[in-house]
């Protein structure tokens, strides 16, 4: 396919996503099935253009004065790909499989329009209804924080300490220019250009041998800040596919017990193969069975309970840019109720003197600090461990990290803009007496 044909396909996919409010991955898959002539390189390029358009949807529409899929795609070429007017005109010459030529208005806007006078939600590329929530989190910095969440994310890997370390993994992946991450002692990062194809890491010998897992540096830090200890009992209450269970087991050097469970057994399906590949033998998976409480015998017994809470995922917008345009206020309210419920379930499992680590991949205070404050009002036996104490797990990097992250009375907030990670909130609490 020509670059112009790929742009036409991107507009077609965007129309499907916006009109039917469906996940980008589903729309791209259906497009590929309906256009089997497109090769893997074409599909990857169309996917990259689509996700870039979704990242810059609000600002692209502002530039073009139009919210149509075509306008968003054209505006993205200017905003994200830095194409000049001549380059965009070349892609829209009206030829076979190419988009129709630019109108005079489109040409003028692409030549001169910018977002310098745009409101924060446009400059930050997030839904307008979320502006008060992001104001509560970031104040006047919300546009810059939103823009950072609209950028393309790197690929982060976590070295499996049971089998390897960050230096060995970086050497194993030298062809991808892999480098140690800024904060996590187990992290390795692969930077990606605006149109770069993600490397086939799951086909790498090191991955197949269990040397590393794909995991954002912020998620790695969440596990590190929870401070799991070898020989102790840890419960991962919202384990899902097992990313943090694996990280906890590695930090514990396979000593002790990590109990991984989730309210939805379908989310646990991938964990078994991952545990085997990583040789994480200290992890025990408890699958929910109807109304049976599979954790009933563990009340007041856990040294650490990790709650990787269900949330809006606003901190992961770099990786799932379509999600921010599908979220609605009702969904936020549902997540807030789920978070309160899971915190209350977790509390009964923590032994006196034990810890509860509450984690979200959200940047919204409703899901973060406000949830912790509400929990403390219900659970008088818990108190927040001061963030300065929590981040001391970083050793000599702690001071610089403390200046980069947002530390509050409730916990630690990481964002792409300040810590160069996904958006993560971590609060570590201790049960007194």
pLDDT of residue 292: 83
The answer to whether 327 and 362 have CB atoms below 8 angstroms apart is no
262 is in an annotated binding site: yes
Sketch out the chain's domains with CATH numbers: 3-115 (no CATH), 217-431 (3.40.50.150)
Q: In the predicted model, is pLDDT for residue 196 greater than 80?
A: no
Confidence label for 355 from pLDDT (cuts 50, 70 and 90): very high
**188 conformational bin, left if phi > 0, alpha if psi -120 to 50, beta if neither:** beta
| DSSP H or E run through 326 | helix 323-326
Mean pLDDT of the chain: 96
Lookup: tokens for 119: 């409101």
Band (pLDDT 50/70/90 cuts) for residue 209 is very high
Structure tokens at 358: 């509450």
Closest to 175 measured CA to CA, from 208, 153, 215, 203: 203
Q: What percent of the chain has pLDDT over 70?
A: 100
**How many CB atoms within 10 Å of residue 153?**
20
Percent of the chain surpassing pLDDT 90: 94
Residue in this structure with the two tokens 């563990």, named with its chain if needed: 298
Residues with catalytic function: 361
Rounded Cα gap, residues 53 and 47, in angstroms? 10
User: Could you tell me the pLDDT band of residue 193, with boundaries at 50, 70 and 90?
Assistant: confident
CA 6 to chain centre: 27
Residue 137 tokens, joined? 């989190």
Best CA proximity match to 335, nearest among 355, 317, 361: 361
* Residue 319: closest CA among 242, 219, 405, 422: 422
pLDDT at 289: 87
Q: What secondary structure does DSSP assign to 226-285, as a single string?
A: H---TTSEEEETT-TTSHHHHHHHHHTTT-SEEEEE-S-GGGGTTHHHHHHHHT-TTEEE
Q: Which residues pair with 358 in a beta bridge?
A: 307, 427
- pLDDT tier, 197 (very low <50, low <70, confident <90, very high otherwise): confident
Q: What is the pLDDT of residues 70-88, one digit of tens each?
A: 999 999 999 999 999 999 9
State CA 293 to chain mean position distance.
30
- Contact at 8 Å (CB) between 363 and 355? no
- Within 8 A by CB and 6+ apart from 417, the residues are 141, 144, 145, 147, 148, 149
26 is in an annotated binding site: no
Report the range of poorest mean pLDDT among 192-206, 247-261, 269-283, 337-351.
Answer: 192-206
Q: What average pLDDT score do residues 79-103 get?
A: 94
Quick: pLDDT tens for 257-309.
999 999 999 999 999 999 999 999 999 999 998 888 899 999 999 999 999 99
Q: What is the pTM of this model?
A: 0.94
């Amino acid at each position: 396919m020509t670059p112009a044909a790929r742009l036409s396909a991107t507009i077609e996919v965007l129309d499907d996503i916006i009109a039917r409010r469906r996940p980008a991955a589903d729309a791209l898959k259906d497009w590929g099935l309906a256009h089997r002539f497109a090769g893997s390189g074409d599909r990857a390029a169309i996917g990259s253009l689509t996700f870039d358009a979704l990242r810059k949807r609000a600002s692209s529409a502002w530039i073009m004065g139009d919210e149509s899929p075509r306008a968003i795609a054209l505006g993205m070429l200017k905003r994200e790909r830095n194409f000049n007017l001549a380059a965009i005109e070349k892609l829209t010459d009206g030829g076979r499989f190419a988009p129709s030529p630019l109108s005079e208005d489109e040409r003028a806007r692409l030549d001169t329009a910018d977002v310098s006078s745009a409101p924060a939600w446009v400059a930050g590329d997030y839904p307008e209804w979320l502006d008060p929530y992001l104001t509560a989190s970031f104040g006047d910095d919300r546009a810059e924080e939103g823009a950072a969440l609209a950028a393309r994310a790197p690929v982060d890997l976590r070295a499996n300490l049971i089998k390897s370390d960050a230096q060995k993994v970086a050497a194993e992946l030298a062809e991808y220019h892999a480098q140690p991450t800024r904060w996590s002692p187990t992290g390795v990062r692969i930077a990606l250009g605006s149109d770069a194809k993600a490397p086939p890491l799951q086909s790498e010998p090191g991955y197949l041998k269990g040397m590393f897992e794909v995991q954002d540096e912020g998620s790695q830090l969440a596990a590190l800040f929870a401070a799991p200890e070898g020989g102790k009992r840890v419960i991962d209450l919202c384990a899902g596919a097992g990313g943090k269970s694996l990280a906890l087991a590695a930090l514990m050097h396979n000593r002790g017990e990590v109990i991984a469970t989730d309210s939805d057994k379908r989310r646990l399906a991938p964990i078994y193969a991952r545990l085997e590949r990583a040789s994480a033998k200290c992890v025990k998976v408890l699958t929910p069975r109807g109304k049976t409480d599979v954790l009933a015998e563990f009340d007041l017994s856990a040294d650490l309970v990790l709650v990787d809470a269900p949330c809006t995922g606003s901190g992961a917008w770099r990786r799932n840019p379509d999600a921010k345009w599908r979220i609605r206020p009702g969904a936020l309210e549902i997540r807030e109720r789920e978070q309160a419920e899971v915190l209350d379930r977790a509390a009964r499992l923590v032994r006196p003197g034990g810890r509860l680590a509450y984690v979200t991949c959200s940047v919204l205070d409703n899901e973060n600090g406000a949830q912790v404050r509400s929990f403390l009002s219900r659970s008088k036996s818990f108190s927040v461990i001061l963030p300065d104490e929590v981040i001391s797990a970083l050793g000599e990097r702690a001071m610089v990290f403390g200046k980069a992250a947002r530390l509050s009375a409730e916990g630690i907030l990481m964002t792409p803009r300040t810590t160069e990670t996904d958006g993560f909130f971590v609060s570590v609490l201790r049960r007194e007496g």
